Amino acid sequence: MLIRLLVVYWVIADIALYVIRIRRVEKGSGISVIKKTPAWKHVVYILLFPLFFPFSLALLLRSKCKSAFYKNRPRPLPKKLRKYMQSDCVLDERNHTVSIAEYNYMHNTNYSLDDVYGKGYMESLPENERETIMKQIATCGKLKIQDDLPDTLYTRASVALGRGIVDGDFDEFESLLSNQVKNINYKSRTITGKSEVLEYWKGWRTRYVETKNVQWFEVAHSNYYSNTCLLLENMIVLFIIHDGLIAMTIMSPRMLNGMVGHKGDLLDCPLELDSIRPCLTKIKDPSEAFENESSENRIPCLTCGTPSEDLYWYHSLFKGGIHGFSGLVSVCPHCNNVVEYDPIVRYRRAE
């Protein structure tokens, strides 16, 4: 009787092995793969696999149970990775790292880090980390307004657009738009007209906010033009206001070239023309500078509104230690201010 049971078990285990092998290869090619397997390997599989089948089955069941448990909840990071990541990082259903705030916002849940890593996890973190995490949880998906912003039309415009994007109420933003308002999408296109610009931002909300592809919204001060702006994760919205109404909105990456990482942050102070003049070379033929791009649909003068194609454009070459940085610089012919610095290449200087 025992031998019969053992034979039945051996047969079932070997059948399971070949079913698994067939299912693990591309559909329709499983049988051909097995046929190409040398005979001696078949013998080894048939004789030895049943010995390991119980362990394989246990591991499979453990994996299935784990997947079922974490189907609709955040997963903990493996211990070996935690020391390299932020304390509030978890894994989502795609095994992508996200903060616990981002996970809850994306899935309309309310999990805590203690739910993921065990009771007492939050208390084990330093106080400053706990405060940062709680602030992120409180502001993710909501409009954050920086403290001590000046009470100006730029602040009002930033708040109005931010609330429109987050809450869907664009009434105040619409009331601030001039009839001939322009919206510049950096290096892309310019939209003109009150209704057209309003529809663009409503569509932007539909594409990026309702789908929760964008999660962080903040009204903040930009030293780049000494006024309030709106931050949308890695994007920034700057304003030009004339006669009490928004004449222009500029939608741009906050970092004009994050890969180069040299003074291209539109929250930082702009370059001073007098200090960089020796590093500039006037561009005579725009086609040689912009290649497949254009001087249009870029940052206009944020003081007088002169469009980017009417600015003076220069090649720039900044030397710093063993590295140098080349790029493009635009200067307003009326205000004599540096308008845009677009870093293009970081290179190693010859010894």
Residue range 296-348, pLDDT digits in tens: 999 999 999 999 999 999 988 887 667 778 888 999 999 999 999 988 877 66
Reported as a pLDDT band with limits 50, 70 and 90, residue 351 is very low
Q: Are 176 and 249 members of one domain?
A: yes
Count CA atoms closer than 13 A to 128's CA, side-chain side. 1
**Residue 131 sits in the same domain as residue 166:** no
Which range of residues forms the domain containing residue 119? 79-139
Residue 192 maps to a domain: yes
Q: Distance between CA 52 and CA 20 in Å, rounded?
A: 14
Interior angle at CA 208, CA 93 and CA 236, nearest 5: 115
Whether 246 and 270 map to the same domain: the answer is: no
Instruction: Give the pLDDT score at 327.
Output: 86
Residue 20 domain-assigned (yes or no) = yes
Q: How far apart are CA 54 and CA 311, in angstroms?
A: 74
> Quick one: 96 and 51 in the same domain?
no
Number of structural domains (the chain) is 4
Tell me what percent of the chain is helix, strand and coil, each rounded to the nearest 5.
Answer: 40, 25, 35
Among 65, 63, 67, 51, which Cα is nearest to 17's? 51
- Mark which of 15, 42, 69 sits at the end of a domain: 69
Q: Are residues 273 and 240 in the same domain?
A: no
- At residue 83, the 3 state secondary structure works out as coil
pLDDT of residue 181 exceeding 90: yes
For the segment 17-26, the average pLDDT, to the nearest whole number, is 63
Is 74 part of any domain? no
Predicted TM-score (pTM) above 0.85: no
**Dihedral sign of CA atoms 36, 42, 48, 50 in order:** positive
Phi, psi of 27 (to 5 degrees): -60, 130
Burial 99-119 (b: 16+ CB within 10 A, else e): bbbbbbbbbeeeeebebbbee
Do 242 and 154 share a structural domain?
yes
Out of 69, 104, 128, pick the residue that ends a domain.
Answer: 69
